[in-house]
Amino acid sequence: MKTATIKVKGMTCGGCVKSIENALYEQTGIQKVAADLDAGTVAVDFDVNVIQTAAIEQAIEKAGFDIAA
Ligand code: 9UX
């Protein structure tokens, strides 16, 4: 298991948090998602044998948000 903390742009209300959490929980291999609205971060616990950070970031982008560098 690995935890990645991803900086996300455009997360501005609780609905955004839910959108991101729902989009990520749909992915296989993701154990836990904790989006922090104030910090603009999403902490994701995942199984590196099933999913990688790039795919997680793609899922966030597909949900309509941008990844901050
Ligand atoms: Mo809130 Mo976010 O009205 O995509 S849901 S800004």
Contact assessment for residue 15 and residue 9, using Cβ atoms and an 8 Å cutoff: no
In angstroms, what is the span from residue 15 Cα to ligand 1's centroid? 5
Question: Which of ligand 1's atoms lies nearest the C-alpha of 15?
Answer: 5
- Orientation of helix 53-62 relative to helix 14-25, angle to 10°: 130
Which of 16, 42, 62 should be mutated for ligand 1, with most atoms under 8 A from CB?
Answer: 16
pTM > 0.85: yes or no:
yes
CB 35 within 8 A of CB 17: yes
Residue 27, token pair as written in the block: 């992915």
Q: What confidence score (pLDDT) does residue 69 get?
A: 80
**3's tokens:** 């935890």
What are the pocket residues of ligand 1 if the criterion is a CB atom closer than 6 Å to any ligand atom?
12-13, 15-16, 19
- DSSP string across 37-49: TTTTEEEEEE-TT
pLDDT tens series, the chain, 69 aa: 999 999 999 999 999 999 999 999 999 999 999 999 999 999 999 999 999 999 999 999 999 999 998
Residue 48 pLDDT: 98
For the chain, the structural domain boundaries read 2-64
CATH code assigned to 2-64: 3.30.70.100
